[in-house]
């Protein structure tokens, strides 16, 4: 295991092993951490839009589009926050397509192209935008079409190897396996039988899920980037040091910044070729069956889409005021 100098704080050490991404819509707060990229979602933008320091930004978007429906305004708000974030990060921002389109490939493609056109109208190169899509069969089909058109996608709400494999087959630019939510489900399932000592650290279910995907991708030479997401603690983050990217909340970024304990590389693509792996069957019926047979992935995917739909509607209500 190669570790980096403990004179540096953990965030600085981690940045030497993994691309660090800020997971927030609060762009004023992310500056201090100097992330390479940033990710947003409807819940994070809703949270930011309700903060007093962003009222002027929200109002300026509304003033620029008088009479526009709140549904249409949402895209302009997402892009407005994205544009501010792009002034801070040198890399990319992820902007999410309306979660209510998660089962409609054609509408998802149209919405993604609309969001890209809004960014491009402000002189932003599409290479700096990742369109976030749910890891449904329809979302993955949309990603395949968008990637072929030069629009890069970040596949989100990803909880299983079959979702990851299908995203790789679709040539999606990036996937975001949701570490914390996988752990939440397993913790709830085990209840009193959950034990932090035996179910945490390297054995954390969310961590092992990403390790499995990482091994599969490196074994089969899949070039889609892997970005661990939805962390509950710094232990989960540090267990995935060496992953392509990790997107981290400001709270956990601050925690990493305040510690100088050594950080070791935990994921290494070289070892992935040693394992004997069989490729998964990825036609539509095989995909749906494998996803269906994974209770955790099925439940968390459905719940995630539901909650993003709710927060998109809350954002619309906020804009309609």
Q: Give the whole-angstrom CA distance, residue 142 versus residue 117.
A: 17
CA distance readout (Å), 130 to 13, 63, 64, 79, 88:
26, 27, 25, 12, 16
In the numeric block, the tokens 């749906």 are attached to 288
Q: CA angle at residue 187 from 181 to 189, to 5 degrees?
A: 105
How many residues does the structure list for the chain?
321
Helix (H) or strand (E) holding 134: strand 129-134
The count of C-alpha atoms lying within 13 angstroms of the C-alpha of 160, restricted to the half-sphere facing its C-beta, is 24
Q: Give the whole-angstrom CA distance, residue 236 versus residue 238.
A: 6
Q: Which entry of 16, 47, 111, 132 is annotated as an active-site residue?
A: 132
Nearby residues of 163 by Cβ (< 8 Å), 6 or more positions away: 135, 140, 155, 175, 291, 297, 301
Q: Give the whole-angstrom CA distance, residue 271 versus residue 2.
A: 14
Q: Give the whole-angstrom CA distance, residue 95 versus residue 80.
A: 11
Q: CA angle at residue 8 from 6 to 13, to 5 degrees?
A: 85
Let me know if 209 is exposed, middle or buried by CB neighbors in 10 A (0-12, 13-18, 19+).
buried
Nearby residues of 68 by Cβ (< 8 Å), 6 or more positions away: 76
Q: Is 132 a catalytic residue?
A: yes
CB atoms within 10 A of CB 83: 17
Q: Is residue 143 within 8 Å of 155, Cβ to Cβ?
A: yes
Catalogue the active-site residues.
Answer: 132
């Amino acid at each position: 295991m190669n570790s980096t100098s403990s004179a540096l704080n953990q965030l600085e050490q981690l940045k030497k092993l993994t691309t660090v991404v800020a997971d927030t819509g609060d762009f004023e707060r992310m500056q201090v951490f100097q992330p390479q990229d940033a990710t947003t979602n409807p819940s994070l933008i809703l949270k930011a839009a309700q903060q007093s320091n962003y009222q002027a930004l929200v109002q300026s978007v509304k003033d620029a589009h008088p009479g526009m429906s709140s549904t249409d305004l949402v895209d302009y708000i997402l892009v407005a926050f994205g544009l501010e974030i792009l002034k801070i990060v040198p890399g990319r921002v992820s902007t999410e397509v309306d979660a209510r389109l998660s089962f409609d490939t054609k509408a998802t493609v149209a919405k993604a192209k609309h969001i890209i056109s809004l960014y491009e109208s402000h002189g932003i190169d599409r290479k700096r935008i990742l369109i976030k899509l749910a890891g449904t069969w329809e979302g993955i089909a949309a990603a395949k079409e968008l990637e072929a058109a030069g629009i890069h996608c970040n596949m989100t709400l990803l909880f299983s190897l079959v979702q990851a494999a299908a995203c790789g087959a679709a040539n999606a630019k990036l996937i975001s396996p949701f570490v914390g939510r996988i752990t939440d489900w397993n913790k709830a399932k085990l209840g009193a039988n959950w034990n932090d000592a035996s179910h945490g650290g390297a054995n954390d279910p969310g961590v092992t899920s990403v390790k499995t995907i990482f091994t599969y991708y490196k074994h089969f030479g899949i070039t889609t980037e892997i970005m661990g997401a939805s962390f509950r603690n710094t232990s989960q983050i540090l267990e995935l040091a060496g992953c392509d990217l990790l997107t981290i909340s400001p709270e956990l970024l601050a925690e990493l910044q305040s510690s100088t304990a050594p950080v070791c590389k935990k994921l290494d693509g070289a070892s992935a070729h040693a394992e004997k792996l069989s490729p998964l069957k990825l036609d539509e019926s095989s995909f749906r069956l494998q996803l269906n047979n994974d209770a955790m992935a099925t439940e968390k995917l459905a719940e995630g889409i539901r909650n993003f739909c709710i927060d998109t509607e809350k954002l619309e209500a906020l804009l309609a005021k």
